Chains A and B, each alone.
Chain A
Amino acid sequence: MSDFVIQTHNLTRYFGQKAAVQQVNLSVPRGGVFALMGRNGSGKTTAIRMLLGLMSPTRGSAEVLGVDSAHLTPEIRARIGYLTEGHFVYGWMRVRECAKFQADCFPHWNQKVFDAVIDHFGLDADAKAGTLSRGERAGLCLAMTLAPEPELLVLDDPALGLDPVARRALVEAMLAVTSRKDRTILLSSHYLDDVERVADHLAILDSGVLRVHCSVDEFRERVGRWILRFGEGPREIPEIEGIVHSRILEDEVQLTIANPTDETERLLAGTGAISIERVSLSLDQTVIDYLTQRGRSGSLLQIVGAGTKPDVPISDPEPSAASAESS
């Protein structure tokens, strides 16, 4: 049996002239949580829809649970749980009717799982689905997706619009599912906190191109930030391979660099900076650096010159002067 529950081979999809997904080679190992990240419109949902055979690729192919996505049989589909974006439910059904309706579609149905998830999200089984809040609807959809006990769970932005309590319940549910080693979750999410808690692996899509594909730990080890300080004179961003993101601040240049080597260190030393320091990055900073368009000089904060520049200590005697100069 393949060790990968999902594999794609140069998966590509065009909408007219626009490539939504370009030559993506994704391998999702069995077990654990695989996070698929990327900005809105980066191709995550398109890729997921192709994986599940809901849309055909322009080129390339995908395999899910060892079967070509274009030929998924009902038996294979029954082993996959798919939670779509937006938590769609039939509003006129009661919660318990939703369960019965869904159970009829699956050969295997664990009512205990359904009841546990409903309970976890604090839902009344007699409530009309149409009257539920967004978080409750998410809980209902999750219960319907989990009760067939799928081997592979595909969650497309499940946390969108959820309040912190519902989001926490979702994280708990994901951890409960993957406490079984043979269960895999493909999670598309914008919530870096949740991803940091649950994910083993991480992929980042940027304008349809796969830019990161590794374990979360490896990602953190292989991307670093350097702070270069210069004396008087021009500060330019050096030409160094692997620069993911750069920012020119008042008195320093910040460079986020992927896959640094000895050569990187050598090039950094040759920039004429009076000090060069490597600093640690949090997961969210690293991902944001990856997702921020290159060429734009930095964050919105910096552009509008608000006095909230994180590099300025709170006790700075002249915060307004500092922020004015940097903008």
Chain B
Amino acid sequence: MAVDFQISIGSTVPIYRQIIDGVRRGVTNGELAVGDQLPSVRALAERLLVNHNTVAKAYQALVRDGVIESRHGRGVFVAKRRNIYTKAERHRRLDAALQAFVGEALLLDFDDAEIRQAVEKKLNDANGRKKRGDQ
């Protein structure tokens, strides 16, 4: 099972948020495939050495967002991707992510072509991983 993110204490990001981000990252970059089981709340709390309510809160948010699903009595699994957001919300979220990304890239003095190329490469990587994961 590929849940091997670390959390950092003393970060400006609350722990439950770090767990949400960690699982989401695992799903988007292909380390976690649809149907993979996640550790139980207790197991993850023990491993990260945090309050189990914190893990439960993160899992609840992930279930609400459709990233994972809870199968009664069996545990928590990565859910089949489905769009739970409205079209407008999806665009809003994409826009927010893009704004941060483009801002950072320009600040680092990359030109348009370089940024486009980097995005292209990332997309190819992600697609490649997804294909390998499907096999």
Instruction: Please list the residues of chain A having a beta carbon within 8 angstroms of any beta carbon in chain B.
Output: 32-33, 168, 171-172, 175, 178-179, 192-193, 196-200, 217, 220, 279-285
Interface residue B3 (Cβ < 8 Å from any Cβ of A): no
Q: How long is the Cα–Cα vector from A33 to B53 in the complex, in angstroms?
A: 10
The answer on a CB contact under 8 Å between A196 and B10 is yes
The answer on a CB contact under 8 Å between B51 and A284 is no
Expressed in whole angstroms, the minimum distance between the Cβ of B20 and any Cβ of chain A is 13
Expressed in whole angstroms, the minimum distance between the Cβ of A13 and any Cβ of chain B is 31
Interface residue B12 (Cβ < 8 Å from any Cβ of A): yes
Contacts beyond the supplied A171-B49, A196-B9, A196-B15: 15 A-B pairs with Cβ under 8 Å? A32-B53, A33-B51, A168-B49, A175-B50, A175-B52, A178-B52, A179-B42, A179-B45, A192-B10, A197-B9, A199-B51, A200-B53, A217-B14, A283-B10, A283-B14
Q: Which residues of A contact B11 (CB under 8 A)?
A: 282
**Residue of A197, A220, A285 touching B49 (CB-CB under 8 A):** A197
Q: Which residues of A contact B57 (CB under 8 A)?
A: 217
The answer on a CB contact under 8 Å between B49 and A200 is no
Q: How long is the Cα–Cα vector from A247 to B16 in the complex, in angstroms?
A: 30
Mask: chain B, 52-69; 1 = CB below 8 Å from A; 0 = not? 110001000000000000
A280 with B10: in contact, given A175-B46, A175-B52, A178-B51 (CB under 8 Å)? no
CB closest chain-B residue, reference A178:
B51
Q: How long is the Cα–Cα vector from A282 to B11 in the complex, in angstroms?
A: 5
Interface residue B88 (Cβ < 8 Å from any Cβ of A): no
Q: How long is the Cα–Cα vector from A283 to B125 in the complex, in angstroms?
A: 36
Expressed in whole angstroms, the minimum distance between the Cβ of A24 and any Cβ of chain B is 25
Give B11-39 interface residues, CB cut-off 8 Å to A: 11-16
**Residue of B13, B16, B50, B52 touching A217 (CB-CB under 8 A):** B16
The answer on a CB contact under 8 Å between A198 and B51 is yes
A172 with B49: in contact, given A193-B9, A196-B10 (CB under 8 Å)? yes
Q: How long is the Cα–Cα vector from A284 to B12 in the complex, in angstroms?
A: 9
The 17 listed contacts between A and B (C-beta, < 8 Å) are: A32-B53, A33-B51, A171-B49, A175-B51, A178-B52, A179-B42, A179-B45, A179-B52, A192-B10, A193-B10, A196-B10, A197-B9, A197-B15, A197-B51, A217-B57, A280-B13, A281-B12
The answer on a CB contact under 8 Å between B51 and A200 is yes
Q: Which residues of B contact A220 (CB under 8 A)?
A: 14
Expressed in whole angstroms, the minimum distance between the Cβ of B127 and any Cβ of chain A is 33
**Residue of B10, B13, B15, B49 touching A175 (CB-CB under 8 A):** B49
**Residue of A175, A178, A198, A282 touching B12 (CB-CB under 8 A):** A282
Expressed in whole angstroms, the minimum distance between the Cβ of B108 and any Cβ of chain A is 15
Q: How long is the Cα–Cα vector from A179 to B10 in the complex, in angstroms?
A: 23
Q: How long is the Cα–Cα vector from A207 to B50 in the complex, in angstroms?
A: 30
Expressed in whole angstroms, the minimum distance between the Cβ of B58 and any Cβ of chain A is 11
Residue of A168, A217, A220, A279 most packed against chain B (CB within 10 A): A217
Q: How long is the Cα–Cα vector from A192 to B12 in the complex, in angstroms?
A: 13
Expressed in whole angstroms, the minimum distance between the Cβ of A186 and any Cβ of chain B is 15
Q: How long is the Cα–Cα vector from A189 to B52 in the complex, in angstroms?
A: 20
Q: Which residues of B contact A281 (CB under 8 A)?
A: 12
The answer on a CB contact under 8 Å between B45 and A175 is yes
Residue of B12, B42, B52 most packed against chain A (CB within 10 A): B12
